[in-house]
Amino acid sequence: MATRDISAPDLAAIPESEIVRPPLMVRLRPYLIALPALLVLIGILYPFVMGVAYSLTPYAFTRPNTDFVGLRNYMRMVEDSDFWYSTFVTLAYAFSATGVQLALGLTVAMLLNRESRVAKILQVTLIFPMMIAPVIATLIWKMMMQPSVGILNPMLNSIGLPSLEWAAVPETALFSVVLIDVWMFTPFAALIMLAGLRSFPQGPFEAARVDGASFWFTFRNLTLPMLTPFILIVIIFRFMDSLKMFDIIFAMTEGGPGNTLMTYQLTAYRTSIQFQRLAQGLPYAIVLYIVIYFVSQWLVKWWGQAQRRAAGYS
């Protein structure tokens, strides 16, 4: 993805004495072209900076006080016993949703990547679940899990399994929302990995077949290493998104029952918006932002390396 600069002539071809710096307007051109986007950028960064500033005050909608109190809101957050539980739920949701989507998505992608009429027909509909708004999809699932009009419990009963109380009880609440996340985003994982599988050169796989390599040998030594960049793309999008998942949990239980599903995002929303204590909820959002920022930087760097390494196979 090397960028060839069209504004400057190829310097290597010109004797050094003849190199003239392009006029100021030409050098400023890219900034001018990007200027409208830069203005939008500032409009988005301003509230972000204000948010960090407000997190250092005791500001509440009901008591607009902007005294500087240092990290008091952060200290209070860490000392709150709910904070560690919230950390646990946020991570549990993100790891389980991403993990299942990777495994199921890879399976579906490999099964779709075959000569099969069934696969061809089904593939067309793969994108449907992820085009529905997460909130609306969650309401549909909520309806299916509902005791009086729901269909999931009758279906469980018909194959001899007992009814579940789904998101209404703490034991199965996390399972219920992760199930919806898996339903909605496994197609994304499958699509990306399917695109990866289809981009592979056939040579190494034919060589392995001729040598009589087993399925697992080929999978471990060819498929997985070559697929790593694509797996990382899935992780980057799905892990980051599920760390900050709001819509599914909010539409399902608003964080309940009790505080069972109070992730960072839900806690920040409840404290800052519902309870109107603006400054007190901000640390949850800001800590989550910092975590996501560093993890995504690291994953993107890893992705770059994996891409170069995978290129070595073809």
Partner 1 sequence: MDATLRKRLIGIFSDGFLVLYFLFALFPIVWMVLVSLKSTDELFTTQFIFTPTLDNYQAILFGDARASAGVIARQEFPRNFMNSFIVSSGAVIVSLLVGVPAAYALARYNFKGKENLAFTFLSFRFAPELVVIIPLSLIYRQLGLYDSYFGIIWVYQLVTLPLLIWVLRSYFEDISPDIEQAAMIDGYPWHRIFIQILLPLVRPGLAAAALLAFVFAWNNFIFPLVLGASNVQTVTVSALGYISSAQAFFNRMAAAAVISSLPQMLLALSIQRYLIRGLSFGAVKG
In the complex, least distance from residue 260 CB atom to partner 1, rounded to whole angstroms: 19
Q: From 13-21, 37-45, 205-213, 218-226, give the range in contact with partner 1 by CB under 8 A.
A: 37-45
150-209: contacts with partner 1 (CB under 8 A): 151, 154, 183, 186-188, 191-192, 195-196, 199
268: which residues sit within 8 A by CB, 6+ positions away? 281, 282, 284, 285, 288
Q: How many CB atoms lie within 10 A of CB 132?
A: 12
Q: Give burial (CB, 10 Å; 0-12/13-18/19+) of 86.
A: buried
Q: Which residue from 86, 238, 250, 262 is in contact with partner 1, where contact means CB under 8 A?
A: 250
Distance separating alpha carbons of residues 173 and 114, to the nearest angstrom:
37
Q: Which residue from 14, 19, 41, 169 is in contact with partner 1, where contact means CB under 8 A?
A: 41
User: Helix crossing, 224-243 with 278-311: angle to 10°?
Assistant: 170
Q: From 16-24, 74-82, 204-212, 247-255, give the range in contact with partner 1 by CB under 8 A.
A: 247-255
Residue 1 interacting with partner 1 (CB under 8 A): yes
Residue 129 interacting with partner 1 (CB under 8 A): yes
Angle, CA of 56, 296 and 240, to the nearest 5° = 85
What mask, x for binding partner 1 by CB under 8 A, covers residues 73 to 92?
--------------------
Q: Which residue from 12, 23, 24, 43 is in contact with partner 1, where contact means CB under 8 A?
A: 43
CA dihedral sign, ordered 127, 128, 129, 134: positive
Residue 225 interacting with partner 1 (CB under 8 A): no
Q: From 12-20, 77-85, 140-148, 163-171, give the range in contact with partner 1 by CB under 8 A.
A: 140-148
C-beta separation of 97 from 186 below 8 A: no
Q: From 93-101, 168-176, 220-228, 263-271, give the range in contact with partner 1 by CB under 8 A.
A: 263-271
151: which 2 tokens? 């269909």
Burial 187-205 (b: 16+ CB within 10 A, else e): bbbbbbbbebbeebeeebe
In the complex with partner 1, which residue's Cβ is closer, 174 or 239?
A: 239
Residue 264 interacting with partner 1 (CB under 8 A): yes
